[in-house]
């Protein structure tokens, strides 16, 4: 740190010498070159003396610093030694004091332990007496509580048992009523079974279900019931869908016959055989069901199909999904019915999908028929729109002329106002006398209308 300060002083003195030199040069600008050289030499000698003095001073300072450092180290060592001796003595004194205090504390702790043991013995005796009395009181109270609980439990059990028996009696009565209703239902099921065993009634149920599907999906104009689709035959198919003819005018109708069939006996015998697991009976009933379905398909082909007055295929509707699935399970039966008898088998779900697709086809045909009408209407609208454009152009021209006339009138009005600025206004009575009351009133009315507008 001291060295840095000396270097700073040397730098400062150098700068000061340069500054003095510059001042001297500025003052003695008119001096001769020899004098300037002499003075510079004098300055160099002064600077050399200063540097020699500074070096000697720095050497002396280093020697003094070394001496003072040695003295400080010696004094510090002596101080640490004395401090260590002092600390050791104090620690011996503290150890002795702590030993005496620990002995005193041990004696006090021994006395306290003996006193605590005596008090604990007395407390133990007192607690035993108290616990014994509490046990006796608790035993007495428990006996009272047991008697009370037994009494209330007996009353509650009697009450609950009475309620339970009453509830069981009510439930048994309801069960008895339910059994009566089940007997009535069983008799109703028997009646339904009798109905379903009647072939004619069973056919009516299939026809009702088929009619419900037709009414839900198609419009009344798109199908008919009890239609004689075959010319020269009085056989009527249950339902037939109207399809557009080949002339695309709708005057010639092509019928799509749909007939409901329900071979319940063969199907029930097959289901019973499957439940029993009788393989031979299952094969026999399956063949019988397949034979019945083929016979029904043949009747539909022979009675209702008559192309081109009808489609070249008909639809057999099976009113239950189980029966439809069983027919589909017969390998090759579906394809055989289509190929040999021109009949398509449908269930409730598949028939609904088929009718929906037909409905979409009908809508497409309606859109195609109406497209030409829409095109003609658009042509007429286009012609009328051209006429409207001409009228609109004439109206625009008239409006432009009116706007120009109004602009001209506005210009003339402003010119008249500029001319009349120098004319002095007179009072209203005098104006009325000069122009007449009617003119003034008319002008005032006009102003009132303008202000009101």
Q: What is the mean pLDDT of each run of 10 residues along the chain (453 residues)?
A: 66 72 61 66 77 80 81 85 86 88 88 88 88 85 81 77 74 71 56 46 67 83 85 84 66 82 83 85 87 89 86 87 84 87 87 82 67 63 67 76 76 73 64 57 46 37
Burial label for 440, CB within 10 Å (0-12, 13-18, 19+), is middle
In a domain, 258, yes or no: yes
- pLDDT recorded at residue 223: 86
Task: Note whether 240 and 322 are same-domain residues.
Answer: yes
Asked if 203 contacts 262 with a C-beta cutoff of 8 angstroms, the reply is: yes
Q: Does 211 lie in the same domain as 166?
A: no
- Nearest of 254, 204, 198 to residue 229 by alpha carbon: 254
Provide the CA 230 distance to its chain's centre, in angstroms.
60
145 is in which domain, residue-wise?
132-197
User: Nearest 5 degrees, angle CA 144-CA 150-CA 155?
Assistant: 130
Q: What is the pLDDT of residue 66?
A: 81
Whether the predicted model's global pTM rises above the 0.85 cut:
no
Q: Check whether residue 254 and residue 364 sit in a common domain.
A: yes
Say what the pLDDT of residue 372 is. 61
The tokens for 133 are: 């009395």
Last residue of a domain, one of 150, 173, 197: 197
Supply angle C-alpha 268, 272, 273, rounded to 5: 115
Indicate the helix (H) or strand (E) that contains 136. Answer: helix 33-197
CA distances from 192 to 33, 37, 187 (A): 151, 150, 9
**Would you say residue 304 lies in a domain?**
yes
Report CA 374 to chain centroid distance, whole Å. 44
Please confirm whether the linkage preceding 308 is cis (ω < 30° from 0). Answer: yes
CA geometry: angle 204, 209, 210, nearest 5 deg: 95
What is the per-residue pLDDT for 440?
43
Domain boundary among 197, 217, 251: 197
The string of DSSP codes covering 262-331 is --HHHHHHHHHHHHHT-HHHHHHHHHHHHHHHHHHHHHHHHHH--TTTB-S-EEEEPS-HHHHHHHHHST
* 224 and 182 part of one domain: no
| DSSP β-bridge partners for residue 227 | 237
**Domain presence at residue 98:** no
Q: Is 296 part of a structural domain of the chain?
A: yes
State whether 298 and 355 are in the same domain: yes
- Quote the tokens at residue 109: 């702790």
User: Strand order of the sheet with strand 314-317?
Assistant: 223-227, 237-244, 253-260, 314-317, 343-346
Residue 162: CB atoms within 10 A of its CB come to 10
* Structure confidence at residue 443 (pLDDT): 44
Residues 139, 250 within the same domain = no
Total number of domains in the chain? 2
Q: Judging by beta carbons within 10 Å of its beta carbon (0-12, 13-18, 19+), is residue 160 exposed, middle or buried?
A: exposed
Are 212 and 187 spatial neighbours (Cβ–Cβ below 8 Å)?
A: no
Neighbouring C-beta atoms of residue 330, cutoff 10 Å: 15
- Decide: helix, strand or coil at residue 43: helix
CA distance 270 to 280: 11
Q: Are residues 211 and 186 in the same domain?
A: no
| pLDDT computed for residue 247 by the predictor | 53
Question: Is residue 101 a part of any domain in this protein?
Answer: no
Do 304 and 222 fall within a single domain?
yes
Bridge partners of residue 254, in order along the sequence: 243
377: exposed, middle or buried (Cβ count in 10 Å: 0-12, 13-18, 19+): exposed
Last residue of a domain, one of 329, 356, 373: 373
Rg (CA), the chain: 66
359 closest CA partner among 260, 261, 256, 226: 256
Residue 210 in domain: yes
pLDDT at 449: 41
Residues 321 and 215 grouped into a single domain: yes
Same domain, 236 and 341: yes
Whether residue 241 sits in one domain with residue 140 = no
End-to-end CA separation in angstroms for the chain: 99
User: Is the same domain home to 213 and 258?
Assistant: yes
Q: Does residue 325 sit within a domain? A: yes
312 is a domain residue: yes
């Amino acid at each position: 740190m001291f060295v840095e300060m000396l270097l700073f002083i040397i730098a400062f003195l150098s700068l000061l010498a340069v500054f003095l030199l510059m001042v001297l040069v500025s003052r003695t600008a008119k001096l001769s070159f020899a004098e300037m050289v002499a003075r510079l030499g004098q300055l160099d000698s002064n600077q050399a003396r200063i540097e020699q003095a500074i070096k000697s001073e720095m050497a002396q300072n280093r020697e003094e610093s070394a001496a003072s450092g040695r003295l400080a180290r010696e004094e510090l060592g002596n101080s640490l030694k004395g401090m260590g001796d002092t600390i050791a003595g104090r620690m011996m004194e503290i150890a002795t004091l702590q030993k005496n205090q620990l002995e005193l504390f041990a004696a006090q702790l021994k006395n306290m332990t003996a006193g605590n043991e005596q008090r604990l013995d007395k407390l133990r005796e007192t607690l035993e007496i108290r616990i014994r009395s509490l046990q006796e009181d608790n035993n007495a109270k428990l006996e009272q509580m047991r008697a009370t609980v037994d009494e209330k439990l007996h009353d509650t059990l009697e009450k609950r048992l009475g309620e339970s028996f009453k509830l069981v009696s009510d439930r048994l009565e309801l069960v008895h009523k339910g059994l009566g209703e089940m007997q009535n239902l069983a008799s109703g099921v028997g009646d339904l079974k009798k109905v379903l065993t009647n072939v004619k009634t069973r056919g009516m149920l299939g026809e009702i279900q088929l009619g419900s599907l037709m009414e839900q999906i198609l419009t009344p104009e798109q199908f008919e019931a009890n239609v004689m689709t075959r010319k020269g035959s009085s056989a009527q198919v249950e339902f037939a869908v109207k399809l557009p003819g080949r002339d695309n005018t709708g005057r010639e109708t092509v019928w799509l016959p749909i007939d409901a069939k329900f071979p319940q006996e063969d199907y029930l015998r097959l289901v019973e055989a499957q439940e029993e697991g009788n393989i031979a009976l299952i094969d026999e009933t399956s063949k019988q069901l397949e034979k019945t379905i083929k016979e029904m398909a043949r009747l539909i082909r022979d009675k209702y199909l008559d192309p081109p007055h009808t489609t070249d295929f008909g639809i057999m509707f099976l009113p239950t999904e189980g029966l439809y699935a069983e027919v589909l399970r017969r390998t090759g039966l579906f394809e055989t019915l289509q190929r040999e008898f021109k009949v398509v088998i449908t269930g409730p779900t598949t028939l609904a999908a088929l009718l929906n697709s037909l409905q979409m086809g009908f809508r497409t045909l309606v859109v195609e028929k109406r497209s030409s009408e829409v095109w003609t209407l658009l042509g007429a609208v286009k012609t009328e729109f051209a006429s409207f454009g001409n009228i609109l152009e004439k109206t625009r021209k008239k409006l432009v002329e009116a706007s120009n006339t109004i602009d001209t009138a506005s210009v003339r009005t402003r010119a008249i106002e500029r001319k009349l600025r120098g004319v002095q206004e007179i009072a209203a009575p005098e104006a009325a006398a000069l122009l007449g009351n009617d003119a003034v009133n008319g002008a005032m009315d006009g102003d009132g209308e303008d202000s009101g507008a």
